[in-house]
């Protein structure tokens, strides 16, 4: 068992193996994710009852909450990958960190954008300087900072390490983001889903939401794998296996 | 020649940095001059009505302190990186944690401390009530120390880059924001007569966290920049 685990980690350091295995995973996971997203979307948007106070406008919760949850979790993925590449010098962790940053930024932007769209009918304004909204905006800046720092280095190995340090520093900010709504309670409502105690959301609305959250997680994972594959091809462009792959795909 | 102990080394390094700063007084004066000029911008841009000034003075003073700290952070390691003495520091047997703390301490003493001490002057120009001045000074003393520590991280990560100036702002501003929130909230609370203890305590907690962790990140950043 332990031997199998070590050989797995050993293989994880090999770009062609990672490229191949991610291809196999994506072949099954990507259609599954898209299907789950479609089911969750139709269920949430068409087959749940309207909210007694917000009417139909609450339905954007099925995009907003999953995007926000995954945006936060994505930062942990990025920082963890950065820490692994710093400590164990695993090249593939470095690739994963670099690949996670733009995806996380995109999810954060979706959360902010849908939040603004939801805020207009509910609170009467597109934007408020509420603690949680502001900290999501800061999260977006942290993601973009990592992207920008990576591009600034000519030496890509140093770029990876510098970004890893920056993302670990930014991680100190995440608990503040997460707890901010409890600290500076204002317009934004506190979390409705609780693992302990009574959830403040009706179960008929909760199940499609949970499905959407799960499918957003797998969507993030799929995007991450796709981005990792693209980055691998770019980095390994001069190696034999990529050239061979190009010949096969090109039909020569 | 005997090798100096860690603390002795740290103190010597601090003395060296302060001596370097004192010998170039213009570098100490520039941030203060910048602070003064930006203070003037606010009444010019937002109107000179005294009540209005009192309203935005806490935030404005804190934003200016943050910006002047940001502008000086870039140069903490720059000259020592250029002449190679930073490389020597990394090779020294003394722990880099303490050396880094000396650099940042010197930076804070020549920027944040002076700014905090002089801030009542600017605060009065912006019509901040006299009873809020002590909170302003205390919050700036604590807050600018956190800013200097965070600024060291940005400086260490970008010191090897040709075009570091704009980049360091993009990296640092998100990290500065929590400090700004609590710093200006403390002064705001003092203006409205609410107890300021909790805000200052949170700033103090941030300072403790920053002293414990930031030098580690700075040290890692310096090693990366030297290697690059």
Contact call for B160 and A158, based on CB within 8 A? yes
pLDDT confidence band for B29 (50 / 70 / 90): confident
Q: What is the pLDDT of residue A176?
A: 62
d(CA A100, CA A208): 26
Tell me the pLDDT band of B31, cut-offs 50, 70 and 90.
confident
Instruction: Output the pTM of the full model.
Output: 0.85
Please, are residues B226 and B88 in contact by the beta-carbon 8 Å criterion? no
Taking only the tens place, the pLDDT of each residue in B149-190 is 999 999 999 988 877 678 888 888 888 888 888 888 888 888
Does A145 contact B209 at a Cβ distance shorter than 8 Å?
Answer: no
Measured distance CA(B21)–CA(A235) in Å, rounded? 44
DSSP string, B211-225: HHHHHHHHHHHHHHH
Nearest CA in chain A to B219: A165
CA distance A104 to A109: 9
Mean pLDDT, to the nearest integer, of B40-48?
85
Give B211's strand partners.
Answer: none
In a domain, A27, yes or no: yes
Please state, in angstroms and as integers, the Cα–Cα distance from residue A68 to each residue in A73, A105, A133, A181, following that order.
9, 11, 10, 14
Average the pLDDT over A31-60 and give the result. 81
Q: Can you say how many angstroms the Cα of residue A169 is from the centroid of all Cα atoms in its chain?
A: 18
CB A36 within 8 A of CB A214: yes
Q: Is A165's CB within 8 Å of B153's CB?
A: yes
ipTM rounded to 2 decimals: 0.85
Which residues does B contribute to its contact with A (CB < 8 Å)?
Answer: 153, 157-158, 160-161, 163, 167, 170-171, 173-175, 177-178, 209, 213-214, 217, 220-221, 224-225, 227-228
> What pLDDT, on a 0 to 100 scale, did the predictor assign at position A181?
45
Whole-angstrom distance, CA of residue B205 vs CA of residue B178 = 12
Contact A166 B157 (CB under 8 A): yes
Residue-range definition of the domain harbouring residue A28: 20-187+204-250
The answer to whether the CB atoms of B161 and A153 lie below 8 A apart is yes
The DSSP code for B164 is -
B219 contacts in A (CB within 8 Å)? Answer: none
Q: Does A187 score more than 80 pLDDT? A: no
Pick from B132, B103, B118, B105: nearest CA to B31: B118
Query: Mean pLDDT over residues A215-225, rounded?
Result: 93
Closest CA to B61 of B139, B131, B165, B113: B139
Q: What is the pLDDT of residue B161?
A: 85
- Beta-carbon separation of B228 and A152 below 8 A: no
| CA-closest candidate to residue A45, choices A26, A58, A59 | A59
**A14 found inside a domain:** no
Q: How many domains does chain A have?
A: 1
Residue with tokens 């370097």: B20
The dihedral built from the CA positions of residue A65, A67, A68 and A72, taken in this order, carries a sign that is positive
How many residues are recorded in chain B? 228
Name the residue among A141, A145, A152 with its Cβ closest to that of B163.
Answer: A152
Distance (Å, whole) CA A172 – CA A191: 21
- What pLDDT is stored for residue A100 in this prediction? 93
Listed in sequence order, the DSSP H helices in chain A are 2-12, 15-46, 61-88, 91-123, 131-152, 156-171, 173-183, 203-235, 240-250
> Which of A165-169, A175-179, B48-52, B191-195 is most confident?
A165-169
**Is residue A173, in this structure, part of any structural domain at all?**
yes
Smallest Cα–Cα separation from A230: which of A31, A95, A83, A94? A95
Using the predicted structure, report yes or no on whether residue A217 has a pLDDT greater than 90.
yes
Q: What is the pLDDT of residue A145?
A: 92
Interface of A with B in 59-98 (CB under 8 A): 86
| Chain A CB contacts of B157 below 8 Å | 149, 162, 165-166
Residue A52 lies in a domain: yes
Whether residue A196 lies inside any domain: the answer is: no
What is residue A178's predicted lDDT score, i.e. its pLDDT?
58
Give the minimum alpha-carbon distance from A66 to chain B in angstroms, rounded to a whole number. 24
Burial of A163 (0-12, 13-18, 19+ CB in 10 A): buried
Confidence of residue A185 (pLDDT cuts 50, 70, 90): very low
Q: What is the mean pLDDT of the segment spanning B3-21?
A: 86
Residue A198 domain flag? no
Given this model, what pLDDT does residue B219 score? Answer: 93
Instruction: Tell me which residue in B177, B217, B227 faces A138 most closely, judged by beta carbons.
Output: B177
Q: How far is CA A157 from CA A139, A162, A164, B190, in A?
A: 25, 9, 11, 49
pLDDT tens-place string over residues B115-136: 999 999 888 888 888 888 889 9
Do the domain assignments include residue A171? yes
DSSP A163-202: HHHHHHHHHTHHHHHHHHHHHT--SSPPPS--SSS--SS-
Backbone angles phi, psi at A55, to 5 degrees: 65, -135
Candidates B155, B169, B174, partner chain A, best to mutate (most A CBs within 10 A): B174
> Among the listed ranges A173-177, A213-217, B204-208, which one has the minimum average pLDDT value?
A173-177
Average pLDDT, stretch A140-167? 90
CA separation for the pair A76, A224 (Å, rounded): 13
pLDDT-derived band of residue B222, with 50, 70 and 90 as boundaries? Answer: very high
Q: Does A4 reside within a domain?
A: no
What's the pLDDT score for residue A12? 75
């Amino acid at each position: 068992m332990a031997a199998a685990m070590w050989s797995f980690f050993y293989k994880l350091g090999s770009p062609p193996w990672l490229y191949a295995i991610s291809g196999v995973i994506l072949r099954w996971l990507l259609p599954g994710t898209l299907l789950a997203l479609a089911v969750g979307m139709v269920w949430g948007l068409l087959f749940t009852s309207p909210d007694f106070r917000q009417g139909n406008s609450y339905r954007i919760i099925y995009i907003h909450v999953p995007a926000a949850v995954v945006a936060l979790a994505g930062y942990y993925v990025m920082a963890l990958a950065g820490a692994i590449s710093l400590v164990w010098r695993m090249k593939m962790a470095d690739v994963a960190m670099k690949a996670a940053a733009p995806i996380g930024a995109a999810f954060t932007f979706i959360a902010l954008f849908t939040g603004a769209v939801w805020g207009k009918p509910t609170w009467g304004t597109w934007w408020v300087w509420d603690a949680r909204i502001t900290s999501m905006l800061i999260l977006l800046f942290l993601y973009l900072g990592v992207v920008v720092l990576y591009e600034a280095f000519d030496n890509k190995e140093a770029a990876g390490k510098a970004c890893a340090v920056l993302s670990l520093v930014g991680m100190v900010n995440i608990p503040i983001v997460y707890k901010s709504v409890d600290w500076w309670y204002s317009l934004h409502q506190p979390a409705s889903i609780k693992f302990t105690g009574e959830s403040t959301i009706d179960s008929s609305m909760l199940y499609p939401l949970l499905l959407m959250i799960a499918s957003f997680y797998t969507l993030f994972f799929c995007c991450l794998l796709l981005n990792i594959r693209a980055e691998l091809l770019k980095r390994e462009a001069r190696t034999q296996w990529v050239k061979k792959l190009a010949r096969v795909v090109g039909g020569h | 020649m005997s090798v100096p102990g860690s603390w002795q080394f740290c103190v010597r390094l601090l003395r060296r940095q302060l001596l370097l700063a004192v010998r170039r007084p213009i570098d100490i004066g520039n941030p203060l001059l910048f602070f003064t000029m930006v203070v003037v911008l606010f009444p010019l841009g937002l109107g000179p009505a005294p009540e209005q000034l009192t309203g935005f003075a806490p935030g404005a003073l804190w934003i200016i302190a943050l910006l002047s700290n940001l502008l000086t952070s870039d140069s903490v390691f720059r000259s020592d990186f250029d002449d190679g003495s930073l490389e020597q520091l990394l090779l020294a047997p003394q722990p880099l944690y303490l050396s880094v703390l000396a650099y940042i301490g010197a930076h804070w003493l020549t920027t944040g401390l002076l700014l905090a001490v002089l801030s009542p002057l600017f605060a009065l120009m912006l019509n901040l009530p006299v009873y809020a001045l002590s909170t302003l000074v205390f919050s700036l003393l604590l807050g600018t120390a956190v800013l200097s520590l965070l600024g060291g991280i940005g400086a260490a990560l970008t010191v090897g880059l040709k075009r570091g100036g704009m980049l360091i702002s993009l990296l640092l501003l998100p990290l500065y924001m929590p400090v700004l929130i609590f710093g200006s909230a403390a002064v705001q609370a003092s203006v409205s007569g609410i107890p300021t203890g909790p805000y200052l305590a949170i700033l103090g907690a941030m300072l403790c966290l920053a002293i414990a962790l930031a030098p580690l990140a700075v040290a890692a950043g310096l090693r990366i920049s030297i290697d690059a």
